[in-house]
Amino acid sequence: MILRRNIKGLKVKVPIRGRKRNYIYFDNAASTPALISVINELYDYLDWYSGVHRGTGYKSLVSSRIYDDAHDIIGRFVGADSVRDTVIMVKNTSEAINKLSYRLQLNPADVVITTDMEHHSNDLPWRARARVEYASIDRQGRLDTESLKRHLKSNYPRTKLLAVCGASNVTGHVNDVHLLARMAHEYGCPILVDGAQLVPHQHFDMKPHNDTAHIDYLAFSGHKIYSPFGSGVLIGPRNTFAGGPPEYPGGGTVKLVMTDKVFWADPPDRDEAGSPNVIGTYALARTLMYLDRLGMDKLGRYEQELTDYALDQLQQVKGITIYGSKPRVGVISFNLADLPHALLGAILCFDAGMGVRTGCFCAQKYVRQLLGLAESDHYLELYDSGRMAKIPGMVRVSLAAYNTREEVDELVRWLKHIAAHPHKYRRAYRFAASQGGYWPIDKKIDADLSNLIRIDAGF
């Protein structure tokens, strides 16, 4: 598989009870590994690295051109309009959404509609700026479009934005964002798609401005699409960002500064305060060019087949409960009988050599609803006593287009084994609040971990 050969770090081995085992990474929804080819390109480009926009000299001219062109490449990858839209480089999706929440210049009486299936990053920023209403979800974790319609209707014309995820980071459930765009536009309301979990997994097209299915604003993170170099993206109409001051004024955001007057720069400079992340932006553009050459449709189809295979296999594990429903990307959250999620995550780490994620995945409301739990004071007690990992949650495996059926088979083998011998593992681990979860009762683990950090990772 071409992509797999280009993934950095797949040969890493981790210590498992005295032996070394190939690490299997199933936490791609958190961050994906980097591409070897892009790392090599970065290495070469670093000969030319320089400050941008405000320098003279060839290196600055070359770097400025590369940095500016990278914006266009990133915009093209998702079908942004090269004239009417602007591509603003930020750190990640969270920063992108926070920036938009500021730049829309909302009043507290304005309404932003979001949903009960959002990551905190597409919920909390809005709470700080407007009255937020939440479209509900059904028992499978799918957005209830009737509920959304009711919110759009009853708040017309006060709704300033519909903010919705392209795909959930808990269930992987994919929203039909173009249908939602049509619904929002019918009520004169623009749409933001939080593309953090969708753009890396499917071909994404914002569609032309004159199409009612057009996506007005899009946010996504480089580190979730094979480019972990500190860059994220906010795309939207230039008009939105051509008015008013940015939330971070400073170097690069202005054309002229007088004692009592400031003339702001045009987009995107106005919203990229200070020296920008040239390296991260270059790396993201090169990564997207590479993915474009492989074909996002093709990668998406492969991931879909792998996801279907994983779901089929996982369903055969005794005692498993898998949350969510299709259509979905390869984000699969589950629980195994009554094993605490944090314990299962620890077993997969220390016994199976796998990286997964456990808990509520920054989507606490959604996870609680999927689990059928109400908010409870008990959570406050667990929070106060540093035992957050005991709050009910799930285990999440998240696939990317370089994962294989063999890796899925290995996961399923382990889950079947754990399901058959829960007491053995319960005895081998203890809850350690200081470690933030379960930890093996095996002193050697701490030494192994220190060695990994010191010797293997060179720290």
Ligand X SMILES: Cc1ncc(COP(=O)(O)O)c(C=O)c1O
309 vs 342, 404, 415, CA distance in Å? 25, 10, 15
- The residue from 93, 98, 114, 281 that contacts ligand X (CB under 6 A) is 93
Minimum distance between the CB of residue 221 and ligand X, rounded to whole angstroms?
3
64 vs 71, 277, 281, 282, CA distance in Å? 11, 12, 11, 11
Q: Which of residues 196-225 bind ligand X (CB under 6 A)?
A: 196-197, 221
Q: Are strands 85-90 and 232-237 parallel, antiparallel or unpaired?
A: antiparallel
Minimum distance between the CB of residue 3 and ligand X, rounded to whole angstroms?
21
Q: Which stretch binds ligand X (CB under 6 A): 86-94, 373-381, 410-418, 434-442?
A: 86-94
Q: Which stretch binds ligand X (CB under 6 A): 156-164, 194-202, 339-347, 410-418?
A: 194-202
Q: What is the DSSP letter of 322?
A: E
CB closer to ligand X, 117 vs 299: 117
Q: Which stretch binds ligand X (CB under 6 A): 9-17, 126-134, 142-150, 190-198?
A: 190-198
Reading the block at residue 34, the tokens are: 């980097």
- The residue from 6, 28, 63, 94 that contacts ligand X (CB under 6 A) is 94
- CB burial string 11-33: b at 16+ within 10 A, e below: eeebbbeeeeeebbbbbbbbbbb
303 vs 201, 287, 321, 330, CA distance in Å? 7, 18, 22, 7
CB closer to ligand X, 117 vs 265: 117
Q: Which of residues 270-329 bind ligand X (CB under 6 A)?
A: none
CB closer to ligand X, 166 vs 190: 166
Which residue out of 165, 189, 349, 362 is catalytically annotated?
362
In degrees, rounded to 5, the angle at the alpha carbon of residue 428 between the alpha carbons of residues 424 and 432 is: 140
Minimum distance between the CB of residue 155 and ligand X, rounded to whole angstroms?
23
Does residue 92 bind ligand X (CB under 6 A)? yes
**Size of residue set near ligand X by CB under 6 A:** 14
Does residue 28 bind ligand X (CB under 6 A)? no
Contact between residue 438 and residue 389 where contact means Cβ atoms under 8 Å apart: yes
Hey, which bits of 177-309 come out as E strands? Answer: 191-194, 217-221, 232-237, 254-257, 262-264
Q: Which of residues 119-148 bind ligand X (CB under 6 A)?
A: 119, 121-122
Does residue 169 bind ligand X (CB under 6 A)? yes
Dihedral of CA 338/342/344/347: which sign? negative
SS3 for 62-94 is: HHHHHHHHHHHHHHHHCCCCCCCEEEEEECCHH
CB closer to ligand X, 165 vs 412: 165
CB closer to ligand X, 122 vs 159: 122
Does residue 369 bind ligand X (CB under 6 A)? no
- The residue from 194, 271, 272, 407 that contacts ligand X (CB under 6 A) is 194
> Which helix (DSSP H) or strand (DSSP E) does residue 302 occupy?
helix 296-314
CB closer to ligand X, 52 vs 362: 362
Does residue 411 bind ligand X (CB under 6 A)? no
- The radius of gyration computed from the CA coordinates of the chain, to the nearest angstrom, equals 23
Minimum distance between the CB of residue 70 and ligand X, rounded to whole angstroms?
18
Burial of residue 400 (number of CB atoms within 10 Å: 0-12, 13-18, 19+): buried
Minimum distance between the CB of residue 225 and ligand X, rounded to whole angstroms?
10
Contact between residue 217 and residue 190 where contact means Cβ atoms under 8 Å apart: yes
Asked if 349 is an active-site residue, the reply is no
CB closer to ligand X, 93 vs 287: 93
Which active-site residues does the annotation give? 362
Q: Which residues bind ligand X (CB under 6 A)?
A: 29, 92-94, 119, 121-122, 165, 169, 194, 196-197, 221, 232
